[in-house]
Chains A and B, each alone.
Chain A
Amino acid sequence: EDQVTQSPEALRLQEGESSSLNCSYTVSGLRGLFWYRQDPGKGPEFLFTLYSAGEEKEKERLKATLTKKESFLHITAPKPEDSATYLCAVGGSARQLTFGSGTQLTVLP
């Protein structure tokens, strides 16, 4: 059974204070690791897909990296508008995605 664990559950940062979110996973045959951003009351918004260890992707202040056991979402100099819940999901033996519980990020001005 595919499993995803995200940490921390919640993170409060000052504007400009860089940090990283962690996503640990166990999966039978990783087909893809996905990062989504979710704002309250809205559907998850796609950010990145990573397929193999060593892969990195960047988008504005976000950078996602992947190893064989975990993925990190690095946030550089965050702004208040980056506040959201960040969800990690894996596609493995099953065709549907298995989500983690998310990290609720709050960036204070």
Chain B
Amino acid sequence: AAGVIQSPRHLIKEKRETATLKCYPIPRHDTVYWYQQGPGQDPQFLISFYEKMQSDKGSIPDRFSAQQFSDYHSELNMSSLELGDSALYFCASSRGGGNNEKLFFGSGTQLSVL
């Protein structure tokens, strides 16, 4: 069965650079969530989209932005990267607008900021 696909799998950037993370949800899933997980920490919600509109916003820095496109894939754009942005970034998808249906997670993008 198709799963949530994230790219790239690993990303290394320098401070103050920009990064773009991509997420392709499970087919027919209309809701995408972005989570940030630091080493040894629980996933922290960043932002979510339902039917291409932002549905919820969590602890996402102003330096980050995201959108969901017409094919339901989503991109997380990160600018002016800081060392503290190094983390595992997960995308999850579900169907139904975020009514707490179970989320399916991708394998994540490991971002390292040097």
Contact = CB atoms under 8 A, between A and B. Distances in A.
Interface in A11-51: 31-32, 34, 36, 41-46, 49
Contact of B108 (A42, A46, A100, A102): A42
B99 A95 contact: yes
B108 A96 contact: no
B56 A96 contact: yes
Interface size class of B (residues with CB under 8 A): 20 to 34
Interface residues of A, number: 22
B56 A95 contact: yes
A43 B6 CA distance: 10
B45 A96 contact: yes
Contact of A43 (B41, B56, B97, B107): B107
Interface of B: 4, 33, 41-45, 48, 55-56, 58, 88, 90, 92, 97-100, 102-108, 110
